[in-house]
Structures are given as structure tokens and as C-alpha cells.
Amino acid sequence: MHDERRRIEERVERVHTQRIKPAIYAATVPFEVEAWQAPGEPVSFDEAAAAPYKPFAMDTPWGPPWGTTWFRMRGQVPAEWAGKRVEAVIDLGFIGDWPGNQAEALVHLTDGKPLKAVNPLNQYVPIANPATGGEEIHYLVEAASNPDILADNFSKITPMGDKLTAGDKPLYTFQRADIAVLDENVWHLDLDLQVLSELMVHLEAHDPRRHEIMHALDRAMDTLDLDDVSGSAAAVREVLAPVLAKPAHASAHTVSGVGHAHIDSAWLWPIRETKRKTSRTFSNVTSLADEYDDFIFACSQAQQYEWVRDNYPHVWARIQESVKKGQWAPVGGMWVEADGNLPGGEAMARQLIHGKRFFIEHFGVETKGVWLPDSFGYTAAYPQLAKLAGNDWFLTQKISWNQTNKFPHHTFWWEGIDGTRIYTHFPPVDTYNARFSGEEMDRAVRQYSEKGGGTRSLAPFGWGDGGGGPTREIMERARRLADLEGSPKVVVEHPDEFFKAAREEYPDAPVWVGELYLELHRATYTSQARTKQGNRRSEHILREAELWATTAALHAPGYSYPYDKLDRLWKTVLLHQFHDILPGSSIAWVHREAEAEYARVAKEVEELTAEAIAALGAGEARVFNTSPVERREVVRAADGSLAHTVVPANGSAPLGAGEGTDPVTVTGRVLDNGLVRVEVAEDGTLASVRDLRAGGREVLADKGNLLRLHTDLPNYWDAWDVDKHYKNRYTDLLDTDSVTVVEEDPLRGAIRVERSFGKGSKIVQTISLRAGSPRVDFETDIDWHEAEKFLKAGFPVDIRAPHSSAEIQFGHVQRPTHTNTSWEAARFEVSGHRWVHIAEPGYGVAVINDSTYGHDVSRTVREDGGTTTTVRLSLVRAPRIPDPEADQGRHRFTYSLLPGASVEDAVAEGYALNLPLRIADAAGPAEPVVSVDGAGVTVEAVKLADDASGDVVVRLYESRGGRAEGVLRTGFPLGGAQVTDLLERPLEAAATEGNAVPVALRPFEVKTLRLAVQKP
């Protein structure tokens, strides 16, 4: 037989595109349209309904950037359309290649009830099926003219990312607003052709099935009457029916599809727009559920549900009904789909607590899995936290974006730092916006790594980010692919059902140990430094507020614990941990608002903390220590004087109640406190750091605190990525404006270094040493005006360290310092929290920080045979897309060098730097709310139970990486103790001995204790 593939495939393509698709709507009549542009920010339906409208014609430009235009549409179904399926078809003038992230609209009935959204690939609104003829149609359509920030494939710097800079030129041209008859035969024929032609081209050329489909399509084109597509469509479908009816192979892979609409809680649009995006998408989803009984939609992010509940009660009611019917599946159990690396341990726990609790309270549903398809890597703390929150499975997708190494598994057990394992799936379809195309189905089967062990994978389907979610066309594809030869089988089902079946058939799946590191988007550990700093400080001040509020609730008569305020403030912080806000990958508008929100949180939390401490009663000046370790520290009083004070963990002490220590001496540019001697060079770097406790050991192998300015132009995603070639071009900042001694107190010595460089940038660093502490602090003030640059601070240490240890949530991870394999080489930029530690047997050094996350660790062998291990903190970047002004302006933060440090020392000083001692004129309690005896047993949170019972909740973890035993003692009469899950639900009774609770922890184990207060 002659090879006629090209002729047939080109024939099918032209007829399908040029004749069949245009015939889907058999007849149309236009709406009468009027328009009103809302001034400024979006308005309520009632305000829009009362507004003055003016006639509006098709092909008219509309919509300034970030504007809202309301359209009033009126029309009537012609009488002759009785018995037909009638819809409204609205094209706002959609542009670009993305199905979301541009113009969108929500269609309301005249009583204000949202009906359905209009999106680029979802332009219809049901009117009647069947129509009676003569129906009057009245709509009010709220249309958002959001700019397409993705235009030019992220290669063009744009001012569109903030309403303050976007201008007012209309972005869109309205194309269509019609009442139309849907020709169902033609519509189904269109879908038959899509499924078969896409399946055909992805089968091998030698596969008989490909040729069978091809010739069936050729016969179908012969059957089609080009002059009467509608009249011949049914006959054409009969020709295709036999090839659509052939069942899949018995061993065919199964794709479990679940409806999905990945809606970033902010990204290329502000939070206020996400509130509207959720209402539009959720309206579509509930409408689709009415059409398809077999449709199931999985939706995460409790925050988005809350927005809909508070702003769109009619949509909320429809969601509740869909959940009851089993068509809507709350998943994920987190407040938002947070970044997978940067949130602190307690914050990550709160993400799970608040998310799961919301779904339990509002739907009676306890989610069973963590749904995080799009975060930029995943901490090794996740398995334990997920299990402690009651989860059985974990889903991710983003690891498929790896730049260097292909992740080896799709279904596997993921083992965290403490040994906890959770069943994990990584969909081989490589998208969370699937549409069941032939290419996607081929990819899912081809890439699935567990062939021979498992037979199924998951495919979240639907258009995200304002695309409106799943569509009826995708559902029709799923139905056709349910049992079709040449294709995997498609079944639409709940993710819980998929994970149950996957685990039952493949219980001995392979194990991946440690973090899921994304070999891409490494710059998200650093971009938008003020946003990251706001998060870090918010996490710590909330810890402080909860501790002292708990103390006041137990010891101050009449004090009322601020449950509601703390809940609201925590949710604000959790929202801004979303995986495009905290990583710094959003538009300027988002980060401008984030900084303002963090400032508001700081103000409110400070008020709560001050109120709690004041409630303890008036008294002398006392120092309050929120950290879980005793502090022997120099503090500065309100009058500027310095005092050395010893303060118990989680407790307070009188100001100046410290022991004598060797004084700090300042000789030229040398600071010495008897523990360490620090010499500042003429160029402002550290010429020497000697550990006097270790016989004067020199810590540095070269210039310390070397500030290096790198050229930083990644290959693609500016705010997201730093590519390895950034290391090749740099300037060391060695020129100084001045190096000056600024403090010579016996309790503190300090030298200030000022530098000007680049395009008007300036750095002022105060290098200080306090009495009684080996920690060297670098208080840093940067006025940053660079573009496409990356600033790092390096500490080359004379240590042969085989690995570095970086703090993560509730523990730390070790990463090799060598690059033996491509996996290690790909980790050229990594994340950590408060500290990085390097060591050789007998000696270690830590680098501490109060707000940055990115760093790199490398090692070289010197000519003298010694090894230099260099830790470099990533301080600030200057990407220009999507925010042209990212990181510009002032930054203030502190980082520190800690010579002679163990991991335990790094943990303690990490807390100390991030939780400054507080001085207040108040009466302190006789003893802390809780205290712990036992090295490695670390208190992470102290609060009252969320159920307002008055019980005290304490979250502990083992922080050194080994087994730990200790005793937790209470500063109140203990009435009993329970070990609970993260949601404070009892797991088992805890033994008590008076006011003490013995505690035993495995390495990095997290344990939550619920302590009852004995009633008098």
C-alpha cells in the first residue's frame, strides 16, 4: 500500500480547522451591549448595577491595565430555536498563548448571582437545553482587563506589574457577544477528530493502529458534506465510531484524571485579583459539575475557599453542595500552596493546621494528602510534618523542571530527616494543567519510571491561573479515552482513590531519602529580600507574642489570651508564604503590598506582646528571652547603656543580672574579648579571626566577609533563576570610603566599614564583638541600585569539611561539599534557615543570619595541602523580570560568624540572632511557662490550645540529629499531659512526675505536648 500519511493528515487538519470548527455554532444573534468602566479598584455588584451605562459596539478597545469594565448584555432567544441547545458566547478579545493570565469575566444574573465565568478557552455560558424560544436574557458581566505579563516569553522588561506604573491605554478589543445555537453533532465530531488525530500522530509509524485510524479519518472526510457540515456530521461520526469503540490493551497504563485549576494566590497579579479569579473558576467548576455527573474536581488552598466564602456566598453555597455530592474534593490540607523550602518549621506546621482544620470545620472532610505541584523544591522535613498532620500521601510536579538530572521516580516512598516515610507521586504527564491531549497521554506512558511495578499515574486536568479550570471539552476527551486502543485508560477519580490503588499495587515502591531539590529556580532563596525578611521576622515575633500571651494567661488575673487576633495574624503570614510571594517571583504590586502587610503584622504583634508583658504587672527593668536556650548576653538598655545579663530560656531576669566577663578591647582595627580576636584589614575585610579558646587557631584561610558582586543574567526566568555561569564574572568590593572604630565599650567593640560602588550603591557594615561571646556580628545597611547583579558575602574557612549542614524546619540537612556527580554539582546554590555549619573532627564554624536563605558552600585545596571550605551567603539580587525594580533601595540585616561552633551552638545562636532579647519595665513570673533539661530537646512553640480550653501546647523537636532525652518542667501546676498530632488531637497519654514530663526523642523528631493546667 502506498504511504499516504501526509496527504491524509493534512486533509484532516484543514477540514477540521476550516470547516468543522466554524460550524460548531449553527446560528447566532448578537447581544445588545452597554458598558461602564469602574473607576479605580473593583466595585460591588450593587454599585455596578446602579451605574450609568453607555452603548458599546463590538471591535471596540476596552480595559486599561488592571481595570474593571462592567458590560450589560440584553438579548432574546429567537422563537425558531425552540428545542435547541442555546448558549451565550463571549470573546473579550483574548490574546496570547496562555489560557489564563489575561482578560477574564464573571457573568451575573440581574439578581447578582454569579452564573459562570468567561475565559480564553471557556467562552460559553449555558442558556437553555432545550430552549423554548423567546427567552429574555439579561446579564451583568464583570470583566477584568489584566495585562499579560508573560508577553514576549519573559524576555521583555515591563512596567505592567503595578497599577502605579502600568498606564491607562486599553489592552483588549471586544470581539463577540452572541446568543448562539450549539450544534451538538458538530461539536462531538470536533472532539472525535481531536482525540483520534492526536492519538494517531503519537503512535509509531509501524503501528497498525495508526494506519487504521488514518484510513478511518480519510473515509470520514469523504463522508462529510462540505456544503452541509451540520447535516452530515452524524454520518461522519458513524464512520468513526468503530475505531473509537476498540478497547484499550489489557496491560494499558491507567491515567487517573482529576479536575484541577492551579490558581496562584498571587503572582503576575495582586491578591485582590486572585479573589476574583477564584470566584470565576469556582463558578465554572460548579457549573461543569451540573453537566457531568462523573466529574471530580480537586482543590487546595483553604485561603482561597475563605475568600470565596466571604465575598461570593452564592458560589460558596454551590461549592458546599458539590462537596456533599462527592464531585468537589478538598485536597492539600494547607492554608496556601506554600513555598516548599523557606517557611520556618512552626509556620509550616501552621500551614497544615489551619488548612486541615478549615476543611474539617466547613466541609466535614479531613484531607489525606499534601498537594504541592508547583513549589520550587521540597524540604526534607515534609514527610514528618505531613504525617503528624494526619496525611497519607504527597503530590508534587515541579521536580520535572530539573535543569541537569532527571528525577528517577514517579511513585516512591519519600523519607524525611527523622526517618518518616510518606507515599509520594510525581505525575509523569509533567503538567498540572492537563487536557488529555494525545501528546500528554503519550508522554505519561513514555516517561512513567515505575513500569513493571506500578501501572497507574495521576493527571490533574484543567486550565489554571484564570483559565477557568476544567472544561466540558476536556471531560469529553476523558470519556473517549476511558477505554481506547492505543491510549492509556483514563478514569476520573478522587486523588485519595488514586493513591489508595497505587499503594495497594506497589507497596514496595523505591525510597528517596532527603530533600527534593529542584535544579532550577535557585534564586528564589534570595530575590525580593525585604519580602523574605518580613516573613522571617514575622515568624519569630509571632512566637514571641504567643509565649508571653501564654505566660500572661497563666499568671495575670484578668488577662485574656488573644486567640482571634493571633489566628488572623498567622493567616496573614501564611498567605504571604505562597510559592510566588515568599520566593520573590511576583510582580511589583504583590511585593509592595507584602512589605506593607509585614509592617502591619509587626505593629499589631508588638502591641500584643507589650500588652501581655504589661499584664504581668509593673516592676523593674527586666530582660525577656523568647528563645529556647539560656542567654548570657550583652543588651543595650533604653538609655543606650550596655549590660551583661543571664536570662533563662523562655523566661526573664532583671537587667544586668550577669556574671563578670573579660572586657572587649579595641586596638587599632583589632577587636578582642578573650574568646576570639578579630582583625579588620584596611580594605574592610577580615584579615584574621583567631579562636583563643582553641589555642589561637586561625579560622580564616583568606579574606573573610569578602563582598563579591556578580553579573547575574540567567538564561530565562530572571527573578527565579541563578545559573552557574554567574560565578564567572564578578567584582570584589575592596575599595572603602572609610574604616572607623565606632564603639569601644568594655562590653562591646565595633568597627564600621563604608563602601560605595556600582550605580550609586552603598554598603555600611558595623563589625562588632561583645563581651562573653565568640560571635562576630555584621550589621549591614545596603542602599542598593544595581541591575542584574548578585551580591554575596564569603567566609573562606580553614577547615576540611566533607559536608555542610544547613538548618531547615525542625532540624538540618547535610550536603556534600564535593562535586563528584552531576547531582552534587547541580546544588551550586542551596537554601538554609538561620545557620550553616561546617566542621572537621574536633572543630567547626557556623555562619548565622537573620533574614537570608540562599547560600553556597565549596571547597578547594591550597598549595600548602590544607583545605579551604568557603561559605557564601547570598545577600541581595537585582532581577528585572517580572519586577523591574526588584530589591532596589534600602536593606538592613545582620549575619554572623561563629568560630569554634558545634551544631548545638549554631542552633542556639540562630535563635539568639533571630529573637533579640526584649527589655521592659515589668514583673516577671517566678519561672518560665516551660523549661527543658536535656541537650538537643528544643522548644519551638508555646501557646494555648486552639480550642480555648486553657491547655498549654508545647511543640518540641530534637535539634542536633541524635537521640535526646530530657525533662520538660512547667511553671504552672500540671494536671496531665498528652502527646498530640499537629492539630492538637490526642495520640497517647504522656507520663508525668509532678510538674514534669519526661521526653525522649529520636533524631529530628517533632513532638507536640498538650498540658492541662491543674485547677485550684
Q: What value does the CA radius of gyration of the chain take, rounded to a whole number of Å?
A: 31
Question: Could you tell me which residues are beta bridge partners of residue 751?
Answer: 741, 767
| 465 labelled catalytic | no
Task: State the DSSP code for 159.
Answer: G
Alpha carbons 977 and 644: distance in angstroms, whole number: 37
Contact criterion met (CB below 8 Å) for 327 and 295? yes
CA atoms within 13 A on the CB side of 491: 14
Alpha carbons 686 and 701: distance in angstroms, whole number: 11
* Closest to 625 in 3D by CA, of 649, 660, 593, 596: 649
- Give ∠ CA 12-14-16 in degrees, rounded to 5: 65
Number of neighbours of residue 781 by Cβ within 10 angstroms: 15
End-to-end Cα distance, the chain: 96
Q: Please, what's the largest Cα pairwise distance for the chain?
A: 100
Question: Could you tell me which residues are beta bridge partners of residue 967?
Answer: 933, 998
Question: Could you tell me which residues are beta bridge partners of residue 867?
Answer: 861
Contact criterion met (CB below 8 Å) for 891 and 543? no
| Residue 378 DSSP SS3 | strand
Contact criterion met (CB below 8 Å) for 548 and 612? yes
Q: Which residue type is seen at 111?
A: D
| Residue 65 DSSP SS3 | coil
Alpha carbons 588 and 151: distance in angstroms, whole number: 16
* Closest to 492 in 3D by CA, of 504, 507, 469, 476: 476
What is the DSSP secondary-structure string of 409-428?
-SEEEEE-TTS-EEEEE--T
Catalytic residue among 218, 374, 745, 981: 374
What cell numbers appear for 381 in the block? Answer: 522535613
* Helices 588-615 & 563-575 angle (0-180, nearest 10): 150
Sign of CA dihedral 318, 324, 325, 328: positive
| Residue 56 DSSP SS3 | coil
What cell numbers appear for 151 in the block? Answer: 508577553
Alpha carbons 249 and 234: distance in angstroms, whole number: 28
Residue 869's H or E segment, with its range, is strand 867-877
Sign of CA dihedral 843, 849, 853, 856: negative
Alpha carbons 775 and 897: distance in angstroms, whole number: 6
**Measured torsion, CA atoms of residues 703, 704, 705, 710, in degrees rounded to the nearest 10:** 40
By the 10 Å C-beta count (0-12 exposed, 13-18 middle, 19+ buried), 126 is classed as middle
HEC profile of 620-649: CEEEECCCCCCEEEEEECCCCCEEEEEECC
Contact criterion met (CB below 8 Å) for 931 and 978? no
Active site (catalytic) residues: 374
